[in-house]
Amino acid sequence: MPPTPSTTLADLALRDRCNAWLSGHRPRRSMKQALLELAQAPEAEGGLDLYGEGELVQGLEREVADLLGLPAAVFVHKGMAAQLAAMRVWAGGQPGAAVALHRQSHIELDESQAYELVLGLRGVRLGANDRPFTVTELEALVEKPALVMVELPLRRGGFRLPPWAELQAISAWCRRERVPLHFDGARLWESAAGYGRELRDIAALADSVYVSFYKGLGGLAGCMLAGPAPFIEQASLWTSRLASNLYTAFPYALSAAIGLRTQWPRMAGYHQRARQLAVALAPLDGLRVAPTPPETNSFQVHLQGEPARVRAAMLRVAREHGFWMGSRAVESIWPGHSMVEVVIGDASDDWTHEQVAEHFRRVIDWAGER
């Protein structure tokens, strides 16, 4: 169950009083700080965009399309709208068209089944928990889907990536069967570092790709949908129909440009830091890291204790030690354990592996107190 608004606001206030943070990038503590950061960007000297038309927005579209090696791209302020548009175009408006996707995918679990309820599509759910689906599972389908979607990495499954050869096989099957393949690449920047490959090498396997600006790149919001020019032209119409064509998007576009310049070059380092931290945490009693080693800059930590007690212990660390470990703990796949996500960003510049291990030891001890 998600926290109530009052709980969320209290958690954010506590987070902002801390002086170090385990996951992600250093938080913006105020609207003023966020606006000043945007104003200091060199791109801020340009004019405002109007309904998606503007030098900054079009420049971002060209830059990301080039990074992905795809013909065209369109900036969208909301990933959900971008991916719904992609599904609508590839499915061709067929009522009840089948979409093959992982049962733990973001589209399935975190968007309230919008693709089914809004677009009238039908999910064909593949894969087991904490394991990307395989080409063998596609081959075993009784019906050929109208679209295959692969989330890179599978966040709910421990930020796992399909093995490269498996991803190539899925792509080959889709092309052989003439089924469009779309990558939910909200964390594609992180996935490229995990695979040790260029973005364009990954994107070349798909027919269309979505990338986010506000996760690993630390933007305020916004994303890019990329693919063939005719696809982007049709998808742009659908993003507008899905209420995603803002009057002006310059704050999001500016923060995306900053993230591409400052965070994208660090992704390989963040992945390496995640692997090092996982090694440092492994000896702790009452703790498991999954996957081992981490396949991107992110991984799961499974701790002994009930979620409510683990959450309370993490908040106690924040209050007593000024170190924010997060406020979300959920049931683990291992009985008697809770799961916490770790995402490495520039906040990791402010702590050592030993400090983090000591804080996790405190959480385990405090969560186990009676």
Mean pLDDT computed over every residue of the chain: 96
Quote the percentage of the chain above a pLDDT of 70: 98
Give me the pLDDT at residue 178, please.
98
Comparing CA positions, the residue from 259, 237, 170, 244 lying closest to residue 207 is 170
Residue 277 resides in a domain: yes
User: Within this chain, do residues 252 and 325 fall inside the same structural domain, yes or no?
Assistant: no
User: Within this chain, do residues 314 and 169 fall inside the same structural domain, yes or no?
Assistant: no
End-to-end CA distance of the chain: 24
Q: What is the CATH number of the domain that holds 90?
A: 3.40.640.10
CA distance 89 to 93: 7
User: Within this chain, do residues 52 and 10 fall inside the same structural domain, yes or no?
Assistant: no
CA distance 72 to 65: 6
Query: pLDDT tens, 126-142?
Result: 999 999 999 999 999 99
Give me the pLDDT at residue 131, please.
96
Query: pLDDT tens, 105-130?
Result: 999 999 989 999 999 999 999 999 99
65 pLDDT higher than 80: yes
Domain boundary among 240, 262, 284: 262
2 pLDDT higher than 70: no
Residue 137 resides in a domain: yes
Residue 101 resides in a domain: yes
Q: Which tokens go with 215? A: 């996760």
Q: What is the domain extent for residue 10?
A: 5-25+265-367
User: Within this chain, do residues 330 and 285 fall inside the same structural domain, yes or no?
Assistant: yes
The answer to whether 354 and 280 have CB atoms below 8 angstroms apart is: yes
User: Within this chain, do residues 18 and 103 fall inside the same structural domain, yes or no?
Assistant: no
Instruction: Determine what percent of the chain falls in helix, strand and coil, rounding each to the nearest 5.
Output: 45, 20, 35
304 pLDDT higher than 90: yes
- As for how many domains the chain has, the answer is 2
SS3 (DSSP) at 168: helix
Q: In what order do the strands lie in the sheet with 337-343?
A: 287-290, 298-304, 337-343, 330-331
SS3 (DSSP) at 350: helix
Domain boundary among 247, 262, 277: 262
Comparing CA positions, the residue from 228, 235, 214 lying closest to residue 85 is 235
Query: pLDDT tens, 339-369?
Result: 999 999 999 999 999 999 999 999 999 999 8
Give me the pLDDT at residue 1, please.
46
Query: What is the average pLDDT across 92-98?
Result: 91
Query: pLDDT tens, 137-156?
Result: 999 999 999 999 999 999 99
**Is this prediction's pTM over 0.85?**
yes
CA distance 81 to 244: 6
CA distance 86 to 81: 9
Query: What is the average pLDDT across 47-66?
Result: 96
User: Within this chain, do residues 91 and 65 fall inside the same structural domain, yes or no?
Assistant: yes
Residue 30 resides in a domain: no
Q: What is the CATH number of the domain that holds 294?
A: 3.90.1150.10
Give me the pLDDT at residue 172, please.
98
User: Within this chain, do residues 247 and 325 fall inside the same structural domain, yes or no?
Assistant: no
Residue 33 resides in a domain: no
- Confidence category of residue 6, pLDDT binned at 50, 70, 90: low
Give me the pLDDT at residue 248, please.
96
Domain boundary among 218, 245, 262: 262
Residue 96 resides in a domain: yes
Query: What is the average pLDDT across 288-300?
Result: 98
Residue type, 120: G
User: Within this chain, do residues 162 and 287 fall inside the same structural domain, yes or no?
Assistant: no
User: Within this chain, do residues 190 and 298 fall inside the same structural domain, yes or no?
Assistant: no
Give me the pLDDT at residue 5, please.
60
For helices 229-241 and 79-91, angle between their N-to-C axes, nearest 10 degrees: 120
DSSP assignment, residue 25? Answer: S
Residue 34 resides in a domain: no
Using CA of residue 221, residue 218, residue 188, residue 152, what is the dihedral sign?
negative
CA distance 69 to 237: 23
User: Within this chain, do residues 217 and 318 fall inside the same structural domain, yes or no?
Assistant: no
Report in angstroms the alpha-carbon separations of 135 from 76, 83, 171, 188, 192.
31, 22, 9, 20, 21
Residue 78 resides in a domain: yes
- Confidence category of residue 94, pLDDT binned at 50, 70, 90: confident
SS3 (DSSP) at 220: coil
CB neighbourhood size of 271 (10 A): 24
CA distance 112 to 120: 13
User: Within this chain, do residues 174 and 295 fall inside the same structural domain, yes or no?
Assistant: no
Give me the pLDDT at residue 170, please.
98
| Secondary structure (DSSP) of 296-346 | SSEEEEEEES-HHHHHHHHHHHHHHH-EE--S--EE-SSTTEEEEEEEBSG
User: Within this chain, do residues 297 and 225 fall inside the same structural domain, yes or no?
Assistant: no
